[in-house]
Structure 1
Amino acid sequence: MTILIDPPTWPGHGRMWSHLVSDVSLDELHAFARRIDLPARGFERDHYDVPERLYQEALVAGAEPVSSRELLARLTAAGLRRPKHPRGSAA
C-alpha cells in the first residue's frame, strides 16, 4: 500500500489543506480515507482534500509525506491522475 500526502499548504475555506492520494488504486485510497474518517465529500476526482488538523493522523495511519510535486508525479505515473480539464477539452 502506498498512500501519499503532501504538506498542508493549500488555502481554502479559511483553512490549510493537504492532498491524499494512492499510487496504486482508487480502491486503496478510499479504504485509507475511511480508516481516518475522511468524509466521502472530500474526494475530488483522484484525491482527497485533507484539512490540516488531520495531517498528523494520516501520517500515523501510514501515509507517506511527500512534496506536492512528488505527489503529482507519482499519481500521474500510476495512471490515476484525473485533471479537471483533460488536455484537448474546453475549459
Structure 2
Amino acid sequence: MIYVDPPEWPGHGRLWSHLISDESFEELHAFAERVGIPRQAFERDHYDVIADRYPSVIEAGAQPVSTRRIVELLQQSGLRRRKGS
C-alpha cells in the first residue's frame, strides 16, 4: 500500500510530504510515475511530494497517515534506509 504524510516539512520555500510504500520500492516507483512525480524526487526510501500535490496523491489512492506512522511503516516493512546507509 502507498502512504503519504501531511505536507509539514519545509524546504526551498515550500512545504513537503513523504510518499512511501510498505511493500516494495517497485510499487512506490510505479505509483509515483502514474501520478507524475519525477524520479529525482526519490530520496533513499521515499518520494518528497510538494504540498500542492498532496490532494492528488490521496485521490490516486495514497493513504494519509502521520509522519510517525510513515517511519513505523518503513521500519516494519524493512524498507527504511537511513542517511549514510
In the superposition, the TM-score normalised over structure 2's length comes to 0.98
Q: Percent identity?
A: 55
Alpha-carbon separation, structure 2, partners of 1:79 and 1:29: 14
SS in 2 for 1:74: helix
Greater share of helix: 2
Check if 1:9 corresponds to 2:16: no
Partner of residue 43, structure 2 = 44
Partner of residue 56, structure 1 = 55
Residues 31-70 of structure 1: CA deviation (Å, up to 9, x unaligned): 0000110011100010000000000000000000000000
Alpha-carbon separation, structure 2, partners of 1:14 and 1:67: 22
Structure 1 residues not aligned, in runs of 5+: 87-91
Partner of residue 74, structure 2 = 75
Structure 1: 4+ residue segments shifted above 4 A: none
Partner of residue 26, structure 1 = 25
- The number of equivalent residue pairs is 85
Structure 2 residues not aligned, in runs of 5+: none
SS in 2 for 1:21: strand
